[in-house]
Structures are given as structure tokens and as C-alpha cells.
Amino acid sequence: MRDDVPSFSAPLHVGRPNVGDTEAFHDMVADMFDRRWFTNDGPFVQQLEREIAERLGVGNIVATVNGTSALELLIQGLELHGEIIVPSFTFVATVHAVERSGARPVFADIDPLTHTLDPDSVRALVTPDTSAILAVHLWGRPAAIRELQDIADEHGVALIFDAAHAFSVRTPHAPIGSHGRAEIFSFHATKFFNTFEGGAVATDDDALAAKLRLMRNFGFAGMDSVIHLGTNAKMPEVCAAMGLANLRSIGDFLIANERNYGAYAKAFDGMTGIRLHDVAPPGVQGNYQYVVVLVADGRRDSVLDELRRHNVLARRYFWPGCHRMEPYSSRRAAMPVPLPATESVAEQVLVLPTGTSISVADIDVISAIIGDALS
Ligand code: T4K
């Protein structure tokens, strides 16, 4: 290793929040205090739902307290049961939401080129017990939507999407948010668009949206009338205010992410042993919130250690794969087929810092550290 590659004096994190128009946010918080209306379907939540629905061209946005509860509400609202086919290569919340809703996750493999569900692997796992396919637009790269919809239609099962990473992503045909029975988003602090904590279900199904609105508020249909099983999954007003402020700056977030992705692509072009994952194939408008590299030849962890030594806190998301985590790893039924692509990708993947707090100069240093570690 060379000694002349500088270290960062403060840690560079993956997932540093994008922060938009803070003045607009403070003004809204002042309004909120004046109103003394902090939660329970307040005006900021309603406005945020309207603005996002308009932006995505989708009939309904149901805002929630986080992405996990959006997914749990959706699975329970659709009354999915039996087996739900999911990727193992995802954040564990995708799979926990299935399990906590009383259905059984069954792991399908991914396509090693896209990191999203491999339709052939999904097709082989459909049984009479399957109620749904839950696909993830991992890293904001759209899953194989058409192929998965064909499988779902052929077998009469629901298709739903975990679009936690894919806010503001467009396929060549439509914005993410308008596919399948519904798609869920996460607006967690680390996401492209954040509301501190938050999430939403996007759906064109008005009846489903009305049911989810009931369910996120304990099943209350009126002051004293509970007509459905429910929980507390409401987004607070302060989070919606953050969302409204951040929506105004989303163009700036994209400019920063595209600039950073381009700088990483340039730095890794021609570097041996490392490959930048393509999150936006032709025709797709990505959000570039995840900069994902694959490090070959079992050298991923030594690159990670070297980055950490220089104060770059890269992450090996989503190692080791959910099928190797509890409670799934001790349950053979969750994994009826081997998952070679999942396991191979999980051993190579490294997520690097990006977002509005990372500069091209930072990326030059990060790439020099990686180049040095690989040389
Ligand atoms: N589906 C998928 C595919 C998901 O990726 C997620 C969440 C969900 C569903 C569920 O959505 P939510 O219920 O979370 O809305 C983080 C996030 O907590 C999680 O939202 C996200 N995916 C996951 C990929 O990443 P951890 O366990 O890695 O968090 P932590 O605390 O290690 O922080 C991540 C990085 O961000 C660190 O480098 C520190 C940095 N950070 C974090 C926060 C909160 C900051 O710099 N500032 C901050 O305020 O899960």
C-alpha cells in the first residue's frame, strides 16, 4: 500500500441524508406549531400525498411512518397468505414484512447482471400455495416488470413491488410507482428522497388505498367507529414537511448523484478487478442513489477494510443474503432452490458514498484508495 493516499479527517458515510430547502422546512414547522396539529392525517401529509401522486401519475399515495410498515400494510391489505416469492438479495425488511404478516417467504434467485429477481427462478417456484410475487427494484434499477407480470397473470397471483430504492426512477414506459397491484417506497433518511423516516404505498386501486388508510389508523372509520383491524402506521406532520421541502430540491439531488456516478465510472474505467453496477440501463431514468461496485477474486473485504482505514465507511449491502439470516437460515422450506447468483453477488458487492455531501474531489480520493488496495 502507498502512504501518499490521504485519509479523510471526518468519516464519509454511505447514506448521508440529502437535505433540501431547509428554510421552507423551518417555515412549515412554524406553521405546524401554530396549528398545533402534529399527526393523524394532517394538512402536510395530505399535501405530500397529493404532490407525490401527481408527480408519479398514480391514483393514490398512502403515506406511512416508514417503508416497512407500508409493505406490511400492503401485504395485509391484500390479504396475502401462504407463500410469497421474494429475493434473498435485498434489505431484510422486505422479507421480515412478509413473515410478520403471517405469510411464508420463499427465496428466488437474482439475475447476476441486474441484481433483481430472475423470472426463470420465480417461475420454477410458483406452487398452488403461492399468493404473490414481491419484487424489489434493487439499487433503484427496475425489476423485470413485464416478465414478472406475465408470470403473475398466468398463475393468478398478485405482483407487488418493493420500490424502497426507486423513488423518482422512470422505466421507458412509466414512472416507478404505477406497476403491479401496488408499489411501496421508503423515505428513510438514507434514501434519495427522505422525510427523516417515512414511506408510502402507491396504487391505482382506489378501494385498496381506502382500506390501507383505515388500516394505518387502527381501522377507525370515524371518531368512535372501528371497522377493520389496524395499526399505527401514520406519518407525522414534521416528516411530511421535510418531504415537501425535499421535493423542491429533488432536481439538485439528481444532479449531484449523476455527477458522482459519472466520476466513479470514469475512475473505474480500465481499473482491473472492479466493475461499476449499471443501475439505469438504456431508456431508464435512474436516481443513482446507490453506487454499487463488484470486486472480484475475493478481494472485496480487503478493499472495504482499506477504505475504512482511510475513513470511508463503505457498506457491503446486502451481504450475506436474507436466506443466511434468522429466522430464515434455520428453515429449509424458505429455500427450496440453491441461490448461486445471490451468493456470488453478495460476496462481491460494495456500496460507496454518494449524494449531495460527496464531491468529485472526494471521489478521486476514494477511487485512489481502491486502486491502491487492488494494485
Ligand atoms: N426495502 C428495502 C429494499 C430497503 O432497502 C429498506 C430500507 C426497506 C425496505 C425498509 O424501509 P424503511 O422501513 O427503512 O423505511 C439503512 C436504512 O435504515 C434502511 O432504511 C435502508 N433500507 C437500508 C438499506 O439502510 P442500516 O441498518 O444500514 O442503517 P445505518 O444506521 O447503518 O445507516 C446507514 C448509513 O447511513 C450509515 O453509513 C450512516 C448513514 N446515516 C444514517 C442516518 C440514519 C447518516 O449519515 N445519517 C443518518 O441520519 O439501514
Distance CA 242, CA 66 (A): 14
Task: Average the pLDDT over 213-239 and give the result.
Answer: 97
Residue 189 confidence (pLDDT) above 60: yes
Using a CB cutoff of 8 Å and minimum separation of 24, what contacts does 117-121 make? 117/85, 117/87, 117/143, 117/144, 117/148, 118/144, 118/341, 119/144, 119/147, 119/148, 119/151, 121/337
What is the spatial distance between Cα 12 and Cα 6, in angstroms, rounded to a whole number? 13
Residue 316 near ligand 1, beta carbon < 6 Å: no
- Find out whether the beta carbon of 101 lies less than 6 Å from any atom of ligand 1: no
Sorted by sequence, the CB contacts under 8 Å of residue 220 that are 6+ apart come out as: 214, 226, 230
Q: What would the grid cell of residue 3 be?
A: 502512504
Point out which residues pair with 203 in neighbouring strands. 60
Cell of 146: 413485464
Q: Return the ligand 1 atom nearest residue 162 CA.
A: 1
The three-state secondary structure class of 14 is coil
Cβ pair 133, 247 in contact under 8 A: no
116 CB near ligand 1 (under 6 Å): no
> In angstroms, what is the span from residue 343 Cα to ligand 1's centroid?
22
Predicted confidence (pLDDT) at residue 1 exceeds the cutoff of 60: no
* Average confidence (pLDDT) over 332-352: 89
What SS3 string covers 91-124? Answer: CHHHHHHHHHCCCEEEEECECCCCCCECHHHHHH
Read off the pLDDT of each residue in 313-329 and give the average, rounded to a whole number: 95
Average pLDDT, the chain: 96
Model pLDDT, residue 5 = 81
Statement: the pTM of the whole predicted model exceeds 0.85: yes
Closest CA to 89 of 349, 283, 284, 308: 349
- Average pLDDT rounded to a whole number, residues 215-228: 96
Phi-psi region of 62 (alpha: psi -120 to 50; beta: other; left: phi over 0): beta
The ligand 1 atom at the shortest distance from the C-alpha of residue 136 is 3
Q: Does any ligand 1 atom lie closer than 6 A to the CB of residue 68?
A: yes
Q: Which atom of ligand 1 is nearest to the CA of 71?
A: 9
Q: What pLDDT is recorded for position 336?
A: 72
Distance 189 CA to ligand 1 centre (A): 7
What average pLDDT score do residues 236-247 get? 98
In whole angstroms, give the CA distance from residue 160 to residue 149: 9
Reported as a single tens digit per residue, the pLDDT across 130-140 is 999 999 999 99
Q: Which residues pair with 106 in a beta bridge?
A: 85
Q: How confident is the model at residue 333 (pLDDT cuts 50, 70, 90)?
A: low
Ligand 1 centroid vs 190 CA: distance in angstroms? 5
Check whether 335 has a pLDDT greater than 90.
no
- Residue 4 confidence (pLDDT) above 90: no
% of the chain exceeding 70 in pLDDT:
98
Q: What is the mean pLDDT of residues 229-256?
A: 97
Give the mean model confidence (pLDDT) for residues 58-81: 98
How far is it, in rounded angstroms, from Cα 244 to Cα 44?
A: 8
- As a whole number of angstroms, the distance between CA 108 and CA 88 comes to 7
Protein residue with least CA distance to atom 5, ligand 1: 91
Give the HSE-up count for residue 299: Cα atoms under 13 Å, Cβ half-sphere: 18
Query: For 205, which DSSP code?
Result: -
List residues bridging with 86 in a β-sheet. 107
Phi and psi, residue 110, nearest 5°? -105, 165
Determine whether the shortest distance from the Cβ of 64 to ligand 1 is under 6 A: no
Rounded to 10°, the helix 360-374/250-268 angle is: 30
190 in contact with ligand 1, CB cutoff 6 A = yes
pLDDT at 331: 82
pLDDT in tens, 154-182: 999 999 999 999 999 999 999 999 999 99
Determine the residue of 117, 134, 188, 197 to mutate for testing ligand 1's pocket, defined as the one with the most ligand atoms within 8 A of the Cβ atom: 188
The CA 188 to ligand 1 mean position distance, Å, reads 7
**Of the candidates 92, 84, 83, the residue with the CA atom closest to the CA atom of residue 346:** 92
142: pLDDT strictly greater than 80:
yes
Q: What is the tens place of the pLDDT at every residue in 85-115?
A: 999 999 999 999 999 999 999 999 999 999 9
Rounded mean pLDDT, 71-83: 98
pLDDT grade for 2, boundaries at 50, 70 and 90 = low
349-352 vs 291-295, strand pairing mode: antiparallel
Neighbours of 84 (CB within 10 A): 25
- Joined together, the cell numbers standing for residue 73 give 400494510
State the distance from the centre of ligand 1 to the C-alpha of 315, rounded, in angstroms: 11
H-assigned helices in the chain: 22-35, 43-56, 67-77, 92-100, 119-125, 145-155, 206-216, 237-247, 250-268, 300-309, 340-348, 360-374
Q: Whose CA is nearest to atom 45 of ligand 1?
A: 16
What residue's CA is closest to ligand 1, atom 33?
Answer: 15
Q: Give the three cell numbers for residue 181.
A: 397491484
